[in-house]
Amino acid sequence: MKIYDKTGKEITEEEFGKLSTNLPYKIVSRTKLPDGKIVSTVWLGLNHSIDENKPLIFETMVFPNEDDFHELYCERYSTEQEAIEGHLKIVQKFLKGEK
């Protein structure tokens, strides 16, 4: 499995190990909604796509609250910009009560 930094450049397992423990690097955005749900967008590094031409290395997940990590929703992205935009769309979607 290929590993990528936030810019989409392929990196080594050693580089990934260092970056994956750096929370400011790993966390793209995090929003707590009024009903307590958490929308979390992070850099994964590991490609979660079957298409090697478009690696999915970012992920947004929605959780019920701070203590419950059963995912309610998930989307993955190829670029940090897509992840930022996706995070905002998912926040709006859940604020409107959509799922």
Tens-place pLDDT, residues 75-91: 999 999 999 999 999 99
pLDDT tens figures, 18-72: 999 999 999 999 999 999 999 999 999 999 888 767 899 999 999 999 999 999 9
pLDDT value at position 8?
Answer: 94
pLDDT value at position 1?
Answer: 78
Cβ 60 vs Cβ 83: under 8 Å: yes
99 pLDDT above the threshold of 90: no
pLDDT value at position 75?
Answer: 97
pLDDT value at position 50?
Answer: 81
- Listed by start position, the domains of the chain span 13-95
Residue 21 falls in which region: left (phi positive, over 0), alpha (psi -120 to 50) or beta: alpha
Please tell me what DSSP assigns to residue 88: H
